[in-house]
Amino acid sequence: MMLPLYRALTSAGRPLIRLYLAYRQTKGKEDPERFSERLGQPGRARPEGKLIWAHAASIGEALSLLPLIEKFAREQDKLNIMITTGTVTSAKLMTERLPKNTFHQFVPVDCLAYVRPFLNHWQPDLVLWAESEFWPNMIHECHDRAIPMALVNGRISSRSFDRWQRQAKFIRRLLSPFKLCLGQTDLDAERLRVLGAANTQCLGNLKFSAPPLPVDEAEMAKLESMIGKRPCWLAASTHPGEEEVIAEAHQALRTTSPGTLTIVVPRHPERGNTIKEIFEAAGLKTSQRSQSQAPSPETDVYIADTLGELGLFYRLCDIVFMGKSLSDENGHGGGQNPLEPARLQCAIVQGPHTINFADITDNLRKAGAFREVTDAGTLHQTVGELLNDPAACKRLALAAAQIAQSQDGALDRIYDSITPLLLAGTPQKDHHANT
């Protein structure tokens, strides 16, 4: 009953969907030049030969898929791969980092009028869904066309598990068409099985297989020269409410660690001007990277409100506070991926709200590989201690790096389990072409 109702509502709601997308466009959250892709209209011709379609919600999920995409591209040079995401920032990042024979498209809104033209054009031979992206119309249209699907790096949080259990028939209908569901952890795989997935396994977490984030060496040398010997630390992927805490911590560091430079990389670069106002209201001098302002000796806080440069700042700073972890209010909690700084041997500091990376955080905690903070006071104390004790900072960083390397082989196992699905079915051509 739920699926027919969902289909009726999404079909009847097309005018509202268009209005919502138009609103998002005014906020810079939709690409005006590629807007038609969100309505199921292709942005390019379909390449000849087999095509894998991989879908990820946004930057984090797309980056976790990237090692698998790169392996398919490397091992099967005649294979074409399309990755879809739903955000402008992820589209830009993927366009810059995708390998040969791989391209990006925006995912269409999950309305049959948009989904069917999308599938009619692309006719994928295999669909990979990342983590917990379940779009009912798209899933069942793929199933109707006999296109094999696999869930990769599947994640079912305890909150989602409880919610889906209250809609048991609906989630079973969504999961049962998948040929394979690979959980990030044994617990994720078990939850997927309970919810209705027929073939569940845990072969490892793809997030452990990602390469270190890239860096522009020339930019790094330039910033190293500008910063000189000043002590510095990084607040990475910050969310609303955290900058105020960072400002208070920096004010205290002025006394205990004079000359410290705080670097802030917001998760959403468009917040740069707002963040600048927060720090300046706290009496701190700022420089803003998006405005081509360099960090001067007088700069307290350097706001790196750009995209795709975290690899640069992880290399510049030995100490990293991971954002989205201090507050769980208004959906701003859950944490960010601590494996990214761990791979680059950073000492990791994060708040208590890390449910999005619970298993990784548990592994780091058992290894004593990060420090937990709860407010401005503990943030100042922890960062100050690490700035003044390089040996302790190094020990913390090395422990985290060992955890980041602890699941070698997961990528090969996941690749080997998915590859046979390329031969498992052939999509139907021109299905519902007149719809």
Residues taking part in catalysis: 61
- 8-state DSSP, 52: E
Tokens of 232: 């510095």
Which amino acid, one-letter code, is at 389? D
- 8-state DSSP, 402: H
Please name the helix (run of DSSP H) or strand (run of DSSP E) that holds residue 97, with its range, or none.
helix 88-97
Could you tell me which of 319, 318, 282 has the C-alpha nearest to residue 301? 282
Q: Would you say 58 and 86 are in contact if contact means Cβ atoms under 8 Å apart?
A: yes
Residue where the block lists tokens 């999005």? 356
Residue where the block lists tokens 């290894």? 367
Could you tell me which of 204, 191, 101, 74 has the C-alpha nearest to residue 152? 204
Ramachandran sector of residue 204 (left: φ over 0; alpha: ψ -120 to 50; beta: rest)? left
- Backbone φ and ψ for 166, nearest 5 degrees, come out as -80, -10
Tokens of 175: 């999961």
Measure Cα distances from 112 to 39, 63, 148, 321, 430 in Å: 10, 28, 19, 43, 14
Residue where the block lists tokens 């590629």? 34
User: Would you tell me how many other CB atoms lie within 10 Å of the CB of residue 15?
Assistant: 8
User: Would you tell me how many other CB atoms lie within 10 Å of the CB of residue 267?
Assistant: 19
CA distance 39 to 126: 21
CA distance 38 to 107: 6
- Backbone φ and ψ for 345, nearest 5 degrees, come out as 55, 55
CA distance 340 to 210: 8
Coil, helix or strand for 54?
A: strand
- Alpha helices (runs of H) in 228-348, residue ranges in sequence order: 242-256, 272-281, 310-316, 339-343
Could you tell me which of 207, 113, 233, 73 has the C-alpha nearest to residue 153? 207
